[in-house]
Amino acid sequence: MKWFNSTRGRAEAIVTLGLFVVALAALPGSFLGCGGGDEEPDSKSGELVSEEKQLWTCGMHPEVILEEPGSCPICGMNLVPLKQGTAPLQTEAHEHRDSSSVTTDVHQVERKGKTILYWRAPMDPTFVSAKPGKSPMGMDLIPVYEGEEDITGGPTISIDPVTVQNIGVQTAPVEKVNLYRVIRAVGHVDYNEETLSRVNIKFSGWIEKLHVDETGQQVRRGQAMLEIYSPELVSTQEEYLLALRNMKKLGASPFSEVTESSRSLLESTRRRLLYWDISEGQIKDLEEKGTISKTVMLFAPVNGVVIDKMAEEGMRVTPGMDLFRIADLSEIWVYAHIYEYEVPWVEVGQPAEMDLPYSPGKTFKGKVEYIYPYLDQKARDIKVRLVFQNPDLELKPQMYANVQLESRLGADVTAVPTEAVIRSGERNIVFVASGGGKFEPRDVVLGPEGQGGLVQILAGIQPGEEVVTSAQFLLDSESRLKEAIQKMLEARKSG
User: What pLDDT sits at residue 180?
Assistant: 78
pLDDT by residue (tens digit) across 458-482? 888 888 888 888 776 666 665 565 5
- In whole angstroms, give the CA distance from residue 444 to residue 153: 17
State what percent of residues in the chain have pLDDT above 90: 16
Could you tell me the residue range of the domain that residue 121 belongs to? 115-149
User: What pLDDT sits at residue 361?
Assistant: 83
Where a domain ends, among 297, 324, 351?
324
- In whole angstroms, give the CA distance from residue 389 to residue 369: 13
Residue 387 has pLDDT above 90, yes or no: yes
166 or 229, greater pLDDT: 229
pLDDT by residue (tens digit) across 391-406? 888 889 999 999 998 8
Same domain, residue pair 209 and 231: yes
Same domain, residue pair 297 and 238: yes
Which residues face 173 on adjacent strands?
Answer: 466
User: What pLDDT sits at residue 74?
Assistant: 78
368 or 54, greater pLDDT: 368
Backbone torsion region of residue 277, taken as left when φ is above 0, otherwise alpha when ψ lies between -120 and 50, otherwise beta: left
User: What pLDDT sits at residue 156?
Assistant: 66
pTM for the structure as a whole? 0.53
2 within a domain of the structure (yes/no): no
Same domain, residue pair 171 and 82: no
Same domain, residue pair 440 and 475: yes
Same domain, residue pair 391 and 415: no
| Overall average pLDDT of the 244-266 stretch | 76
Residues in the chain: 495
- Is 171:380 a contact under the CB 8 Å cutoff? no
1 within a domain of the structure (yes/no): no
Question: For the chain, what is the domain count?
Answer: 5
Same domain, residue pair 140 and 170: no
58 within a domain of the structure (yes/no): yes
- In whole angstroms, give the CA distance from residue 199 to residue 97: 108
User: What pLDDT sits at residue 112?
Assistant: 47
DSSP 60: S
User: What pLDDT sits at residue 18?
Assistant: 45
Same domain, residue pair 14 and 27: yes
Same domain, residue pair 311 and 336: no
State phi, psi for 345 to the nearest 5 degrees: -95, 0
pLDDT by residue (tens digit) across 308-344? 999 999 999 999 899 999 999 999 999 999 988 888 8
Q: How many CB atoms lie within 10 A of CB 74?
A: 21
pLDDT by residue (tens digit) across 92-136? 333 333 434 434 444 443 444 567 777 877 656 557 787 888 887
Average pLDDT, the chain: 75
Comparing 16-25, 114-123, 323-332, 361-370, the range with the smallest average pLDDT is 16-25
Where a domain ends, among 382, 409, 436?
409
164 within a domain of the structure (yes/no): yes
Same domain, residue pair 371 and 305: no
- In whole angstroms, give the CA distance from residue 29 to residue 15: 24
What CATH number is associated with residue 474? 2.40.420.20
